[in-house]
Amino acid sequence: MDRTELADFLRHCRTRLTPAVVGLPQGTRRRTPGLRREEVAQLAGMSADHYTRLEQARGSHPSRQMLAAVARALRLTSDERDHLFHLAGEEPSRDRPATEHVRPGLLLVLDRLVDIPAQVVSDRGDILAQNAMAEALTGDASARPPAKRNVVWRFFTDPSARELFPVEEHDNAARTAVADLRATLARRPAGETRQRTPRQE
């Protein structure tokens, strides 16, 4: 892990963003360009202190989940995301479905949908990004363990998730969710299917 290069890269990516691009208010006058560290931390669902340590080349080794969250917060492209992983001493997953990385342009659209709840969901049902109204309606997915960010898993295990559907539509919604998940997993390699299928713990 190259802490210095990682810190430099994070600072560079942070300073090229503006609050408007990520759907945050401009706030008071800024002395330096780009987002504040605490704003990146907020978008990534982590503490400001933890993110600051990364930018200051201090602290513990970031987890793969944390790196992915920071990549989304900083609106990194797929190539930039891979570079971030390399700087942190992690090998990007080559078998990672492309749907798990949210394109910066799509995140920009999500940020600008301020009047309706919206979220980006992978073909497998994993919540990858949410806007503020979606968080208010369904809860902050980034605060849950990765395995519990799946909408199919939540539908069958969390009664509050089913409350989003009219009672008379529960059976149809369940059948549709299972059929879609089976079709998705049928297209995936067998090893990936075993490793990544949502299951009750």
Q: Write the CATH number for 35.
A: 1.10.260.40
Residues 82 and 10 in one domain: yes
Q: What pLDDT score was predicted for residue 77?
A: 83
- First-residue to last-residue Cα distance in the chain: 33
Contacts of 3 (CB under 8 A, 6+ apart): 57, 58
Coil vs helix vs strand at 125: coil
* Domain boundary residue, one of 63, 94, 125: 94
Coil vs helix vs strand at 93: coil
- Sign of the Cα pseudo-torsion (45, 154, 157, 186, in order): negative
| Residue 102 resides in a domain | no
| Burial class of residue 64, CB neighbours in 10 A (0-12, 13-18, 19+) | middle
Residues 185 and 153 in one domain: yes
| Residue 132 resides in a domain | yes
Q: What pLDDT score was predicted for residue 59?
A: 75
| Residue 139 resides in a domain | yes
Coil vs helix vs strand at 111: helix
- Sign of the Cα pseudo-torsion (161, 69, 74, 52, in order): positive
Contacts of 2 (CB under 8 A, 6+ apart): 87, 89
How far is Cα 77 from Cα 83, in angstroms, rounded to an integer?
10
Residues 125 and 85 in one domain: no
| Residue 100 resides in a domain | no
Q: What pLDDT score was predicted for residue 52?
A: 92
Cα 24 → chain centroid: 17
Q: What pLDDT score was predicted for residue 60?
A: 79
Q: What pLDDT score was predicted for residue 95?
A: 47
Residues 79 and 135 in one domain: no
pTM of the model: 0.54
Residues 139 and 90 in one domain: no
Cα 165 → chain centroid: 24
Chunked into runs of 10 residues, the chain (201 residues) has average pLDDT values of 88 88 74 85 86 87 86 86 90 59 78 86 86 85 81 88 86 87 73 51 48
Residues 75 and 135 in one domain: no
Residues 192 and 126 in one domain: yes
Residues 75 and 8 in one domain: yes
185, 159 contact by CB (below 8 A): no
| Residue 103 resides in a domain | no
* SS3 of 132-197: HHHHHHHCCHHHCCHHHCEHHHHHHHCHHHHCCCCHHHHHHHHHHHHHHHHHHHHCCCHHHHHHHC
* Full domain range(s) for residue 128: 115-196
| Residue 41 resides in a domain | yes
For residue 65, the surrounding DSSP H or E stretch is helix 64-73
Q: What pLDDT score was predicted for residue 8?
A: 93
Residues 88 and 120 in one domain: no
| Residue 37 resides in a domain | yes
* Domain boundary residue, one of 60, 94, 128: 94
- What is the token pair recorded at 144? 């849950």
Residues 12 and 90 in one domain: yes
Residues 90 and 124 in one domain: no
| Residue 107 resides in a domain | no
Residues 141 and 83 in one domain: no
- What is the token pair recorded at 8? 């430099």
Instruction: Please state the domain count of the chain.
Output: 2
